[in-house]
Amino acid sequence: MGKLHEEVLKVPHVRAFLDMISAAEGTTKYSYRTMVGGARIADLSQHPRRVVNLGNGLYSTAAGRYQFLWRTWNGLQTSLGLPNFGERSQDIAAVELLRRRGALTPLLRKDFRAALSAARKEWASFPGAGYGQGERSIAYMTNAFNASLARIGGAANTIIAGAPPLSHVKDSSAVIIVAVAILLLLLKS
C-alpha cells in the first residue's frame, strides 16, 4: 500500500492539503516532531505514546505533523507496515486517513470543499469537526491550502472551491498519476 500512497504524495493538491492540515493543527514549528501542546519530540523511531493534560479535563496522545492519536497511529502502522514515526511514515499514514475518510478521491479531482468536508471528523481543527477544540474557519483552511499550493505548483493551480475537470489540466503526467491513483484506490477498496 505504501507505494500507492507515495505516488499520491507527488500530486500537488495532496501535498498542499497535508500542509494545510499541519497549519490547522498548529504543527508548523516542529512539524513532524510536534507533540500536542507544542513540545518537541526528540525521537521519531516510534510514536511517543505520551498522554498530555491539555486542561479542562482534556487529555491527548496526539503527536507528529498530523497529530496522530496513539491508538490511530498504532492501527495505521500495523496495517500499512510502517517502520517508524518518521516523516515518510507520517505522510503515508495521513494519506491513508484521507483515503479512509473518503477525502482522497475528491482531493485528486481537485474538489477542495468536498475533501475538506469528508476529512473534518479526522482532525479536530477542521471546520465542522465538532470536537470543541478550536476549529479553524473555512477561510483559514482555504488560505492555508492555496498558499501551499502556490508554493508547490504555482499560483495558476490555486483553487478555492471545486475545480475544473481533469481534462482541463495541461500537465498530462499529472493527469496520468491522478487517474492511476484513483483507479488503484478504487481497486483496493
Residue 184: what are its φ and ψ, rounded to 5°? Answer: -65, -40
The domain total for the chain is 1
| Confidence class for position 103, pLDDT limits 50, 70, 90 | very high
Domain range for 51 is 2-188
Whether residue 158 has pLDDT greater than 90: no
Please compute the mean of the pLDDT values over residues 159-173 and round it to a whole number.
Answer: 43
Whether residue 139 has pLDDT greater than 60: yes
Entry pTM: 0.82
CATH number at residue 105: 1.10.530.10
Residue 39: what are its φ and ψ, rounded to 5°? Answer: -70, 160
pLDDT in tens, 89-102: 999 999 999 999 99
* DSSP characters over 90-124: HHHHHHHHHHHTT-HHHHHTT-HHHHHHHHTTT-T
Decide: 8 and 14 in contact? Cβ < 8 Å: yes
